[in-house]
Chains A and B, each alone.
Chain A
Amino acid sequence: LRVPKRYRHPALEERLSRRRTAQEARSLLRCRRAGIPAPVVYFVDYVTNSIYLEDIVDSVTVQDHIYSVQKSGDDTSSFHKLAEKMGELLARMHDEDIIHGDLTTANLLLRPPTEKLDLVLIDFGLSFISGLPEDKGVDLYVLEKAFISTHPDTEMMFQALLKSYAATSKKSGPVIKKLDEVRLRGRKRSMIG
């Protein structure tokens, strides 16, 4: 039984403008209604632009999880399953036309117990709604770069993630294509500007 914490953990810094706050709240609601795990919104304060969110108790970030498994020399084959689940989750998110905007392994939480691979997406501060494959491709590219820079020796992971993404998303073709294009360009910008 997960007891909802009362109004704790303002998850948002005050420098965010009202529009960003509204966008984040909107994305969070949109995720939840589509069954995509994201924290519950308890209260939105438009005066300080803070969002009070559910506290995912005793969770670890995927980032920390990868570190600790690698550090302890544990079997990294579990990473494959984790990557698959990540790919699946992101595919579902993108199919709802939700662009996260800041995909990193620090913005993906694992609920306890970690072995269950129960993922929760957090930090939608830069999120927006878009159906464009370019935006989705960039979203994935950001994650890929984050993977490469933060987690050495995880190339297979991202591959597995993409495979799972492609298998789950109905619209993945154009997205992967755009991802390839963005990789070639080496930047995360849309040429449409």
Chain B
Amino acid sequence: MAVTDSLSRAATVLAAVLLLSFGSVAASHIEDQAEQFFRSGHTNNWAVLSLVLSPRLECSGAISTPCNLHLPGLSDSHASASQVAGTTGARHHTWVCTSRFWFNYRHVANTLSVYRSVKRLGIPDSHIVLMLADDMACNPRNPKPATVFSHKNMELNVYGDDVEVDYRSYEVTVENFLRVLTGRIPPSTPRSKRLLSDDRSNILIYMTGHGGNGFLKFQDSEEITNIELADAFEQMWQKRRYNELLFIIDTCQGASMYERFYSPNIMALASSQVGEDSLSHQPDPAIGVHLMDRYTFYVLEFLEEINPASQTNMNDLFQVCPKSLCVSTPGHRTDLFQRDPKNVLITDFFGSVRKVEITTETIKLQQDSEIMESSYKEDQMDEKLMEPLKYAEQLPVAQIIHQKPKLKDWHPPGGFILGLWALIIMVFFKTYGIKHMKFIF
């Protein structure tokens, strides 16, 4: 009895010791104070759109699909100086849809509709990184192929002519997303897949998919935690990759994703609080899935009224989708942001107006008229001499057609087969004993 007593006491002591040790390790993860550094004005806008899909149909979290990063053009607050028109910051957008599978159609539709309205406001594709995790338009279950609708009765096809998806399908991973944000991209990545923002850029990051308390699910197999996201933003801040950042997330328990941010100049909006689900808007009987999520639907209605010259500010965006319409309570976080939200225009992030100056001076150049004439004659002669290459000669077609297939390397049998055989042999020897080994060797 004494032994059992001591046993139980020892067990509690041990548990306490272990808990303490792990607790101290966890404490080291508490973030420090961020340095505050004010920068007036911004030079360009970027958007990162990502969709994250969650498994429950009603939940508006979506698995991330790669969304094109849109970098909006340069824009500042509206021009007032004498020679200068427009603003100087560039806008950069990152749109990430993290959801996979047909029933997460609404996440792709979310991302594409906001992408469309942002492009309407003037942001070029070179400034947008769009990440879509799955292809809904060409999904075999789509009754209307090559379309993605965002309204009931198929009113609006958001999969138009000029949708440029930068990261698609299995390229949308947490690693790629973090690489895009922090800029730690392998050197062979093309320009369209990079977030080329600088210290004057305003960045908009939109994520949608399936989320939970403190994480966002990517591709149904991995997740990004709010701490990783906060650390990624801190890395962006340290390298001054943004001037101001707007983070919009439309998932279940979305507010948990922005709880851990600690870098300055970040404003965050979420579609639901911790413990709440974000709901989808409406199903379409013809397509058979829910078309959009509520929060994004109302944000979209809000954006439809914005034009490049509008003066609406962020406080209006915070009022979008109250609880009566959205069922969940949208939240926002502005304590890290330097400016007052009522002074922040929507077009500071969503629109794009470049700073422009009139050129008033020229430099004097000497005219070389004789050279001009002779070069003109040379050009004419060159044109006659040049013959266009025939198509067939440009590629070594014969060589390509008659290539032999490469031999595949031999690999030893995989772990599963080995494990299965080991199990069979073990069972055999257990039943019959070791003396039967001699029958094998």
A and B from one assembly? no
